[in-house]
Amino acid sequence: MLSALQNFEMAFLIGQTIRDIIVVAVTSSNNLPTLTGFDGSPSFILACPGISLTPFITSADVDANDTTSISLMGPLLTFINFIQSNNYRDSVFLSIAPTLSDVSANPYYFYLNVGDDACPYNGQAQSYYSVFVLPPTNGYCLAQSTTQLSLENKFSVYPNPAENFVNIKSSLNESIIMIEVIDASGKMIKSCKSYSSAIFKFDLLDIAKGSYILHLKTEKSEEFIRISKI
């Protein structure tokens, strides 16, 4: 492959050097390391002003002898702190604490690099992540102020991930009165109300593949649960 280096002065070409560059492709048996999403699943997360989140991101490598290392490639977001475990399989713990000034109609993005120590060719891979900071008046944020996401086990949802439907069951055997599906931007894209049963088969056929939040309610309980449509 020939490469030409040209030298200009006052917009006039005054010299040129030709170099012959050889590119050699070699076969490597090293497998690239990978990164999970937040808490092992989606690569986006919903956040609310005044409510702190502590998700984690972990690395993996099918080459058992390789040690992995995660680094933040940017951009640096003022409301997110990164803490590395620096273990054999590196992990990153995040502290996400947005304020009112961080509320935005557009998501915040950052990306991480994960590398391994294979010789002679190190493996490198990148993953992008997004954080949606919703206004405090958003229904998701209003519920978050009194309900912890997916920790109270008031409902069971299965299968998850799901293809065409999920079964939703009230763990307290209460009648389900509302089911809402919230997308990555915090927008409600589907809503069903007034069921008379503690278990319901919920149709996902009209929903695109991706990660969502289910907002579930009975007369006495409420919960938000992450689901994935595959």
Mean pLDDT of successive 10-residue stretches along the chain, which has 230 residues:
54 62 75 92 88 90 92 88 84 89 92 91 92 85 60 78 89 86 77 76 89 82 81
CATH 2.60.40.1930, applies to 147-229: yes
Please list, in sequence order, all residues whose beta carbon lies within 8 angstroms of the beta carbon of residue 222, skipping any fewer than 6 positions away. 143, 147, 154, 215, 216
Superfamily of 34-133 according to CATH: Immunoglobulins (2.60.40.10)
The residues of the chain that CATH labels 2.60.40.1930 are 147-229
State residue 230's pLDDT score. 85
The residues of the chain that CATH labels 2.60.40.10 are 34-133
Judge if pTM exceeds 0.85: no
Cα dihedral 47/44/212/51 (nearest 10): -10
User: Across the chain, where does the E strand assignment appear?
Assistant: 2-9, 12-20, 34-35, 44-47, 56-60, 68-74, 80-84, 91-96, 108-116, 124-133, 155-158, 165-170, 176-182, 188-193, 199-203, 210-218, 222-229
